[in-house]
Amino acid sequence: MKGVRPIKIVSTGKYLPKRISSNDLENKLSIPIGWCERYSGVKYRHHATTETNGLMGAKAAEQALKKANFKLNDIDFLISASGSYDYPIPNQGSVIKSLMKDGNQADLAAIHIDSTCLSFVAAFEIAAKILDGNKIKNILIVSSEISSKALNENNWETATLFGDGAAAVILQYDESGSSNFIKGTQKTYSKGMEYTMIKGGGNAFWIKDHPFEKELHSFDMKGKKLLRMAKKKIPEFMEWFFEDLSIELTDADTIIPHQASKTGLMIFEKLFNFKQGQVKGTLEKYGNCIAASIPLTLHDFIESGEIKRGDLCMLCGTSAGFSVGGVLITF
């Protein structure tokens, strides 16, 4: 197939901060007992205490390096892929690298990509296209997210849905095996640009002109509008994505969608005729971890052996903006 490249996932890693049960959260926020699981589908999530995005990302990356028997000098390029970060400047990739063992000695480039919940998918596509087996043989992608700091505790829908965590994936150009990057792309439907926002903090609402206000500087999601748009645009996107391939979405051995919400995942599964167990998820134990959701789920199912070498895998989802994207790989 046109565009297929010999890209292999060498290893993965993850880091999770303190685990918070739904009962803990219900007691803290005076939410009726049982509400969280019933409405959000999340039994547990993790919240950072003293950790930063950089620290969590560095720990996940170090785990991936250890499993691959790599040192940081074996990596040619580091891509941070997340919707949250420690500082506006410098870029989050450089922050993660500085906190890693040998980070100050290794001279590899470190950049940051932000496509909110699709940041990992975007980074995977870009990495797969620039790996050449020569100057760039190994790329480390790190998605580290802290959502808990930007949640409005008065909004139960979002306060109970999101979690914090980090995951890392090492990609390698490898012509010796059966692993492949088959296709990756995104589409942005700008009608939904304002459906998911944190308005404060950027130049549109600069902090000197707009001092901190909970509503302005907290995550805001128009859930019903997002779900209606997703229900319409996801099938359109998938038809377009697979139109030049000899397979369909349902031919994949494993589909890992972004862990957006209980309702969002139910709608996604109803849109297609999936086989039982074909769609993998971690919403119940991690919540929505923004860009880290897909690589965390990927990590767990590789570790459990449910994703095996040679499996056809689709990593896909939606993001603020409103975008739909995916990458199709042979693991």
Integer Cα distance of 308 and 39 in angstroms = 33
pLDDT tens by residue, 88-136: 999 999 999 999 999 999 999 999 999 999 999 999 999 999 999 889 9
* pLDDT over threshold 80, residue 215: no
Between strands 44-47 and 18-21, the pairing is: antiparallel
Integer Cα distance of 98 and 104 in angstroms = 6
* pLDDT over threshold 70, residue 283: yes
Question: Hey, how many other C-beta atoms are within 10 angstroms of the C-beta on 67?
Answer: 15
* pLDDT over threshold 80, residue 145: yes
Integer Cα distance of 21 and 5 in angstroms = 42
pLDDT tens by residue, 242-257: 999 999 999 999 999 9
Fold of domain 181-330: Peroxisomal Thiolase; Chain A, domain 1 (3.40.47)
Contact by Cβ (8 Å): 93, 80? yes
Selected residue with higher pLDDT from 310 and 193: 310
Residues of the chain with CATH 3.40.47.10: 7-176, 181-330
Contact by Cβ (8 Å): 122, 113? yes
Q: Would you state the structure tokens that stand for residue 196, as one six-digit string? A: 């998911």
CATH number given to 7-176: 3.40.47.10
pLDDT tens by residue, 19-59: 999 999 999 999 999 999 998 899 999 999 999 999 999 99
Residue 299 Cα distances to 12, 134, 142, 150, angstroms: 6, 27, 12, 26
Contact by Cβ (8 Å): 229, 192? yes
